Chains A and B, each alone.
Chain A
Amino acid sequence: MQIVDRRLNPGGRSLANRQRFMRRAKSLIRRAVHESSGERSIKDADQAGEVSLPTEGVHEPSFRRGRSGGVRDYVLPGNKDYQEGDTIARPNNGGGGRGSEGSPDGEGQDDFRFALSHDEFVDLFLEDLELPDLAKRNVTKTESVTWHRAGYSVTGSPANLALMRTVRNGLSRRIALKRPKRGEIEALEAEIAGLEASGEDPLRLTSLRDDLARARRRASRIPYIDPLDVRYRTFQSSPKPIAQAVMFCLMDVSGSMTEHMKDLAKRFYVLLYIFLKRRYKHVDIVFIRHTHLAQEVDEDTFFHSPETGGTVVSTALEEMIRVMRERYHPEDWNIYGAQASDGDNTSSDNERTASLLTDHILPSCQYYAYLEVGREGEHFPPGFARRHSDLWQTYSMVVATGAPMAMRKVNHRRDIFPVFRELFSRKPKAGAAAERVDA
């Protein structure tokens, strides 16, 4: 009998099969991911998740009998009061429900839950999406450096001694110079001792003694490790590109914004956050809410604290500019702006908003997205032109100049993801950040 401990064997033996399965079921999984992203709460939107797949999509067929028709026997345990010759009404599902055959492959026909790892989830979630204008304008100007391995050198500090390499060099040198091995010397010594003891063959004894003396000389002349063998690991520095981004979330929290609208905005921010996080090592978020006054707040206040007042959008932009100046210098940070609003603005403020955006914000931003959230179920009868909001009209003019900015309207939760995808989907040309001015 043998006991083997396999617990330490490398895990993930099914990984290859899992990848094959995912490739096979890709379209199904993708659909499931998008559906499930609508259901799950925002906080854990980018956590690993379970999705449920319909089984028929990855069905493995086999020749098997149908579930109804013909003559069949059911042999069942636990008879209560049936007598021979009793008749029983046939269950509606054709007898399959009695289950004496069960399902032939031993699997139910239910959907099955499928757990995706975080990376798999996000990959599928954001598949085919790309950040526009990824060419960072300030990539070259950076102070931080990163070290990476750059081969071996003959000088260096003892801490960087490359032991393997050193010993290997020593070995090859000893082989090349034919340094006698310890075993060979011992063999000579043993043979000499043997001959001395027996006293036979004095000629051979002398020649062996010569050999031994020669071997010892050689061994002492050729060292085991020579300074020539020693190698050190070397490192080189290289400039590190900026790998951090800041995301400004701007939202109108005046009375006209309903909970539904805030929810839409939140969903959009979450998507943007997940997306940025995938591209940048470090992502900061700044929440700025505004009525007729703007204020930087924490996340909870941003989404949940009620506020009343008028609506002056430019205050939020000013606040954003202030925070940018203080903490997020465009040369060190990739800046993304996302603004959500129902489109209301004090008419007199529109001009100022446009100029702040064009002159101060857009030049330092990688991308600026404006999301206009509407009431659920808002629709217009055909033939009626839809009136565009103040903010929409203002921003349309900015976008028309070809700035790195996009704007969309969203009324329903289910539209968020398509709109997001549309904004960031991989486009053939970088300059195609064209907006679509319709509902």
Chain B
Amino acid sequence: MGDLLFEGAEWTFDTLRRCHDAAAEVASNVLGLDTYPNQIEVISAEQMLDAYSSIGMPLFYRHWSFGKHFARNEGLYRAGMQGLAYEIVINSNPCLSYVMEENTAMMQTLVIAHAAFGHNHFFKNNYLFKQWTDADGILDYLEFAKSYISQCEERYGEAAVESLLDAAHALMSHGVHRYPRRRPADLRSEQRRERDRRAHEEAMYNDLWRTVPRGKAAAGDNRVEERRRALLQLPQENILYFLEKSAPRLAPWQREVLRIVRQIAQYFYPQGQTKVMNEGCATYVHYRIMTHLHEHGRLTDGAWMEFLHSHTNVVFQPEYDDRRYSGINPYALGYAMMEDIARIVRTPTDEDRAWFPDIAGTGDEMAVLRDVWANYRDESFILQFLSPKLIRQMRIFDVLDDANEPEMRVMAIHDERGYRRIQRALAKQYDVAWTTPDIQVADVNLAGDRRLILHHRALNRVLLDEGDTRLVLQHLADLWGYDVLLKEVDPGNEAVLKEHAASPRGNILRQDALI
């Protein structure tokens, strides 16, 4: 039995340190977590609102939309309609966690366990974060972005920068690379490949090929076309990247600003894909740490009850017909799945053995969970690990809404026939390819009228929201400098379902006079 970490609600910096050290011990010895070093920052409620408004980052460039978010959150907070988050955690090295001064000692412990160990471990180990974000450099990059944009404001005027940022923000969701880019091969492997190719050709040489008559005219045109598309890297789904590299009329500083917005979008890209896992991981970790601390006499029973109260609030999932229902709560789903995996590993049933032969009964739930946290994102995680038991427990069902049918139809419920479909349907809702529309730059004729053509592959014939699309397309046309055409294409039969067009507005972004 250890000493109590604290008694009552009051805390001091010393308490924070003790709680952190106790949590760290559990995290590394019992759970085997691997984290960045922690930096815990104590802030006031107003500073928390500040942090909210800049997407949780400690520093950010200036833009009116952040003021809007601040005003909105402040309004809700003052009216008592919304509590503040107890913490914000930033994927950086060292890992920054903001805790509020109003929290009780128990809350601080919970927050440290949740953010400084749960999220921290996830950030450091998940493959998406490793692949896409640079935890060491993000704060420096934001510092650079902030000062660069404020320099631009000084030089080119706030209005010019603001309209550029408006346009860039509108396209932010389509400013990320979704696949790792091909790295240019180094000289040695180039040489090796060249040798292999030659060897292959020699081995396959057949004199007969020489005698095959060759097609002529049409091929020539096609090659030019192909070459142009290759040079522009078309089709291109990262619209901001395409504009930064190829928009004919942007000034260098404008390209740099697009790049900044794009980099930041890329930094946040993994977070959108791992919401359920990230929160599930953090919630599971805080539950384990707090339980451990309580079992070893480091927390009073009062603090334990307070913890349970707050924990159950966090993982509460209202049912679909509840007035409070607003989608599936990522904390609830994530935590339930982590608990479920631990159960399958420890005490599997026959059903679990049939569904999860790899992990059922292996005995070390932390090893399995650490592996899951490192190698999955929400979509694959749900597809793989949403167990029949959990589907039954949450009574999940799947409703299909086909606009061509008069009524919606229940396609699957929590029974033997429905499990697979529910897994797939739920996983799809977390698939980025489904959550953000698939829009790509399809073609542009740089020698002709320079009209930019984009395709939206309308999955399941779901079209884009008309009003928003018009506005975004207008921004896109302003950036591109010439006409823009967006075709909504049915991926099944390549039929064009709808077209949107926009022309650039006069001098909104033109800085020709200034360059």
Contact = CB atoms under 8 A, between A and B. Distances in A.
Nearest to B62: A16
Interface in A49-87: 50, 58-80, 82-87
Interface stretch (B203-211, B214-222, B302-310, B456-464): B456-464
Given A63-B437, A70-B462, A90-B407, A14 B20 contact: no
A62 B468 contact: yes
B47 interface: yes
A99 B67 contact: no
Given A1-B38, A17-B63, A21-B68, A70 B422 contact: no
A76 B320 contact: yes
A14 B67 contact: yes
B471 A71 contact: no
Interface stretch (A5-13, A247-255, A266-274, A403-411): A5-13
B411 interface: yes
Interface stretch (A112-120, A232-240, A275-283): A112-120
Interface stretch (B72-80, B187-195, B358-366, B477-485): B72-80
A100 interface: yes
A184 B16 CA distance: 48
B46 A70 contact: no
A93 to B, nearest CB: 12
Contact of B16 (A3, A16, A107): A3
Contacts of B21: 1
A113 B79 contact: yes
* Interface SS majority for chain A: loop
A64 B47 contact: no
Contact of A78 (B395, B415, B464): B395
Interface in B48-72: 49-50, 53-54, 62-68, 70-72
Contacts of A9: 47
A87 to B, nearest CB: 4
A135 interface: no
Given A3-B16, A16-B62, A72-B401, A58 B68 contact: yes
Contacts of A20: 62-64, 67, 158, 162
Contacts, number: 268
B17 interface: yes
Number of chain B interface residues as a range: 35 or more
Nearest to B174: A63
* Interface SS majority for chain B: mixed
A69 B462 contact: yes
Contacts of A112: 71-72, 75-76
Given A18-B71, A66-B466, A1 B170 contact: no
A78 B320 contact: yes
B403 A87 contact: no
Interface string B359-388: 000000000000000000000000000000
Interface in A1-48: 1-7, 9, 11, 13-14, 16-25
A2 B67 CA distance: 30
Given A20-B64, A76-B320, A66 B327 contact: no
A67 B42 CA distance: 41
B401 A73 contact: yes
Contact of A88 (B408, B468, B472): B408
B233 interface: no
B317 interface: yes
A102 interface: yes
Contacts of A1: 17, 20-21, 24, 37-40
Given A2-B38, A61-B472, A17 B75 contact: no
10 contacts: A1-B37, A3-B16, A13-B50, A21-B65, A62-B172, A64-B468, A78-B319, A86-B409, A100-B328, A113-B75
Q: Top 8 nearest A-B pairs by Cβ distance?
A: A78-B319, A21-B67, A70-B462, A17-B67, A61-B471, A76-B320, A113-B75, A20-B64
Given A3-B40, A6-B47, 6 more contacts: A1-B24, A4-B42, A13-B47, A17-B67, A71-B461, A95-B401
